[in-house]
Amino acid sequence: MPVAREPVTQRDVAASLGVSISAVSLALSGRPGVGDDLRRRILDRAAELGYRPNASAVALRTSRTRVLGLLIRNLRNPHFLDVIDGFDETCARAGYEVMVGSSRYDPTREAQLVDAFQHRAIDGLAIAPIGTNHRVRERFSATSRPVVLLDTAAPDAATMSVRSDQEASVDLAVQHLLELGHRRVAMVVAPDDKSPDPERLQHFRRLAADLGFTADTVTTELSADAARTALRQALERDAATRPTAFITNSDYIAHTVYLAAADLGLSIPEDISVIGHDDLPTSASLYPALTTIAVDRRSIGEQAATLLIDALAGGPGDRTNIVVPVELRVRSSTARPAGGLRP
């Protein structure tokens, strides 16, 4: 069984070069007091020996842990996996480590995780909150550490945020369906207390009033089982009154429209059309391939991490509220409605 190797210390680096520990400390911390040649020798030898600074000691000296938190709503939704990837990679390049938590749409768990992040004294937090109630965010920001909101309604100008362009996503989806001839369109939404972006539904209803189509809603908890049940109930309505198309807030939920339709012997897109949001790698492989709103999910994570790192460096940067553009990807899950309606 291999024996665990003791971590390399500043004393080890100093002994290998025959210099004082104080010289090593000054060189590794970037402080003045050693010449450039000696500093280079110390840094090179530290890298050669595999020296890593003691995180606890650094935290005590600088009041920084160089750890950032990322709190999301649902790890089962692949959307957030790409957000995490972009966030983690950006942090790693800047010398930060990442702690990740998932609230699972449970407000109590969300509050507990925020408390846990505070206890671990992380330097900043990116959070995709449940709903638009920002009390959890406010509890964390009271510690004077930076907070970035992800994928939620636009906050006040003083709060940093990164979100996809939800209004444009609704515009693109509705325009596409109306051009196909749909006049009864449903949007799948979370309950009011858990909806991250009520502005999306409000914009959908404004478009219905302006453009003259019937706007329906399917309100459901955003889990696959709950959504499948709610969608099946919507599809069981008489063919003359049920929606002919569904707009969802994620490809994850769009997949459940396929399942609910199959439960009732309905076909996509012959009986109903479906539009997702995210453009997950699996969505083009569905049968039929899913029409969806594409958004750069990695960019959301990258830009959230950059906002936090810039804030910790002393400034908010050029932008504090970032809106990531979206794009419609038309595939086979949308078609003219049954009955041959025309625009």
> Could you tell me which CATH class the domain 166-296 is placed in?
alpha beta
So what's the architecture of 10-53 in CATH? Orthogonal Bundle (1.10)
pLDDT value at position 154?
64
Of the candidates 294, 299, 304, the residue with the CA atom closest to the CA atom of residue 150? 304
Q: Is it true that 67-164+297-324 and 166-296 share their CATH fold?
A: yes
pLDDT value at position 343?
39
pLDDT value at position 233?
96
Of the ranges 50-64, 170-184, 214-228, 283-297, which one carries the lowest mean pLDDT score?
50-64
Of the ranges 105-119, 135-149, 201-215, 222-236, which one carries the lowest mean pLDDT score?
135-149
pLDDT value at position 2?
46
Report DSSP letters for 237-284, one per residue: S-TTTS-SEEE-S-HHHHHHHHHHHHHTT--TTTT-EEEEEE--TTGG
The 3-state DSSP class for residue 43 equals: helix
% pLDDT > 70, the chain: 87
Of the candidates 76, 70, 71, 83, the residue with the CA atom closest to the CA atom of residue 221? 76
pLDDT value at position 339?
67
All structural domains of the chain with their residue ranges: 10-53, 67-164+297-324, 166-296
Joined together, the tokens standing for residue 16 give: 């290998």
Q: Is 67-164+297-324 in CATH node 3.30.70.3150? A: no
